[in-house]
Amino acid sequence: MEAGEEQITSDFSVVIATLNRGEDLNALLLQLTEMQKAEVIVVDQTEEYPAEIQQQLDQHINANANFFYFKLQQKSASNARNFGVNKASGKYIFFIDDDVILPEDYFTKYFNYIQANPTVDAIAGMVLGLDKAINYSLAKIYYNQYFGHLFRPVNYAYPLTTSDLGTCNMLIKKSIFTQLGGFDTTLLRFEDSDFSTRFLKAGYVSHYEPDLFLIHKLTSTGAVRNLTGLVKSEAYWEQCFYLVLKNFGLKNGRGLLYYYVKPQIISRRLVLNPLQYITGLGKLYKGYLLAKNKLNLAAGHE
């Protein structure tokens, strides 16, 4: 073991929430076995794997004393990640997706970055696709004072001193994650946007560092896509309004709402079809009412 590796192992816990991605999970655990750098907490919401996949998974878990495997029935990424953090013993928590490819020096680079920047509370690393394309520009919306941080491209080329915290490639101090109450389990999507906003509003410091990259395979199946798909139903608009009302209010968050609403409601196709347009507006309004109700209920329990 090289100098510093023992400290890396004791300081870091990797939390992986997974659902119906057995092949991806086994490939990731093989990488982590070869790296042997951190405690690994797997929170699996898969009901059942094929026998061959399950056998490989059992071999990985049983062969590594620093691997810990838990099954959850509830299909919620937020709940799974919160559960994983609660089980983790490390000072720092990594969140990575189950379908990623890690560079060999992944943990070492993060450790060195923390050593050089001890006041940073969380770090977002670059997420590259299989094509390894890099984005060299920031959209105008990024500079919005309230929610602009949510529009940092995941593959942005340059470091930033304020960033969102996407759960595909992120490190955070466990103590701060716990203080903020973890991810909001009401959200089936936008949970990382909500957490990033609460994190920044609380005055904590996050950096984005492109050198701390991984590759995201973006597997088209699995995860919680059946729960968070892009069908613009009342449930989808409920999530949008919940995020905006909770963190920004309608006045400060109207630009974010417009971003979500414009492609679905303010379109020539819908305007030319009055029935679809009215139906779309109805779903939007119902989503708003559902979000307000949830927030009122949450406030009543505080």
**pLDDT > 80? residue 266:** no
Beta bridge partners of 100: 216
Per-residue pLDDT tens digits for 76-127: 999 999 999 999 999 999 999 999 999 999 999 999 999 999 999 999 999 9
Instruction: Give the E-state strand segments of the chain in sequence order.
Output: 12-18, 39-44, 67-71, 92-96, 100-101, 122-128, 169-173, 206-216
Per-residue pLDDT tens digits for 39-62: 999 999 999 999 999 999 999 999
Residue 268 pLDDT: 62
Q: Which of 4, 6, 16, 63 is nearest to 38 (CA)?
A: 6
Residue 1 pLDDT: 46
Cα–Cα–Cα angle for 283, 236, 72, nearest 5°?
A: 140
Question: pLDDT higher for 157 or 36?
Answer: 157
* CATH 3.90.550.60 corresponds to the domain 5-226: yes
Per-residue pLDDT tens digits for 184-204: 999 988 999 999 999 999 999
Distance from CA of residue 59 to its chain's centroid? Answer: 28
Q: What is this structure's pTM?
A: 0.92
Q: Which residues contact 113 (CB under 8 A, 6 or more apart)?
A: 120, 123, 209, 212
Note every long-range contact of 263-271, with CB atoms under 8 Å and residues 24 or more positions apart, other chains counting.
264/232
- The whole-angstrom separation of Cα 103 and Cα 34 is 11
Residue 226 pLDDT: 52
- The whole-angstrom separation of Cα 152 and Cα 164 is 7
Count of CB atoms within 10 A of residue 97's CB?
23
Task: Determine phi and psi for 53, rounding to 5 degrees.
Answer: -65, -45
Alpha helix (H) ranges present in 106-224? Answer: 106-116, 174-179, 191-201
Note every long-range contact of 134-140, with CB atoms under 8 Å and residues 24 or more positions apart, other chains counting.
134/210
**pLDDT > 80? residue 229:** no
Residues written for the chain: 302
Beta bridge partners of 169: 96
- The whole-angstrom separation of Cα 228 and Cα 236 is 8
- Say which residue the tokens 């050198």 belong to: 211
